Amino acid sequence: DTAVSQTPKYLVTQMGNDKSIKCEQNLGHDTMYWYKQDSKKFLKIMFSYNNKELIINETVPNRFSPKSPDKAHLNLHINSLELGDSAVYFCASSQEGSTDTQYFGPGTRLTVL
């Protein structure tokens, strides 16, 4: 069974559209994250949730809105997509705090045309 799963794996869309990426973890972890990896492989944290509560919210445009219906799921909704949003988005989870070992999903490659 996959520990951290994301859907879809690839997402190609037009500028201005709204899209969502879903993430689920079956590890029983309390903390989940969204990261953005750019074309140079630089990985930057976007959001972190602990037991459905937002604990980290980096300076991300408010077009990005995370939603955690329960502690096993953390979805990312993006409004009014822009060219600069093209990247690979990774979901991750950890058992304890945000500096604990993190388990990553396979990533969602978003391409905005």
Partner 1 sequence: SQQGEEDPQALSIQEGENATMNCSYKTSINNLQWYRQNSGRGLVHLILIRSNEREKHSGRLRVTLDTSKKSSSLLITASRAADTASYFCATGPLSGSRLTFGEGTQLTVNP
How many other C-beta atoms lie within 10 A of the C-beta of residue 43? Answer: 12
By CB under 8 A, name the one of 45, 52, 60, 72 that touches partner 1. 45
Tokens of 96: 């304890």
Residues that contact partner 1, how many (by CB under 8 A): 23
Parallel/antiparallel/unpaired status of strands 108-112 and 10-13: parallel
**Is there a cis peptide before residue 66, judged by omega within 30 degrees of 0?**
no
- Decide if residue 27 touches partner 1 (CB under 8 A): no
55 binds partner 1 (CB under 8 A): yes
**Interface residue list for partner 1 (CB under 8 A):** 4, 40-45, 48, 55-56, 90, 92, 97-107
